[in-house]
Structure 1
Amino acid sequence: MLSYPAAIPLSTRSLNHLAALIRAHRTRRRSRWRRLDPGQQALLALAHLRNGDTLTRLACGFTIGVTTAWRYVREAIDLLAATADDLNTTMIRIRTLAYVILDGTLIRSTVSPTRSPTIPANTAATG
């Protein structure tokens, strides 16, 4: 098998954030020793999410089994999903932005960032 170094466009902040989530999760669960430390697990998961590398290739690169790679990626995705805002909160936040990046696509917002979003009359709270 041939191996080669590779680089992925990834911020240190993203890697550290996910590693901290994994570290806290392991502490809460009182998890025993694992093959990869939280930083390596975060890198494995982000490489899979960012580049779409197959679990077989990642398992080989990190010298772990394919099943372990799948488990590590699944665990990282679950931790990220648990910290994400719900759709309602996200849509409220999007209304104040001029642009939104959704699934890697830049979308121009129709709402001016200087205007406050309008609330339809039938959903306004009466008090």
Structure 2
Amino acid sequence: MTAPVEMRELSEVECLDLLRTEPVGRLVFTEKALPAIRPVNYVLDGRDVIIRTSADSWASRVAGNVVAFEVDHIDNTSHTGWSVVLLGTATVITDIDTLVRVTDFRDRPWAPGHRDQYLRIQPGQLTGRRLSFTPA
């Protein structure tokens, strides 16, 4: 007999705690009037998502636009997991004090190449859901 499962909404604190557990998320934006999704490494700066990228990439076209950012973790064996979605505006970080604070050379991007531009996504909306077994 299969245990019953429940889907529950997560609090903002739970969403932020879960965002800190994964190194890769998906940035969702519009490119040439079509949806585009890019897997990216990220770090959190308070509630903000920071993405390190190259200035001549798609990232320069994202700045100033509303984007979505999604992170999840799925357990294929137990059919449980969680998903966090952040909606906000992407901006290029130019303030030197902020750049120094968010640059951690231990958290290098996985993609090859020079990554000297930083995007900040400030959440206008932060939501999450967890699918788990209900206690007996």
Larger radius of gyration: 1
Give the structure-2-normalised TM-score. Answer: 0.23
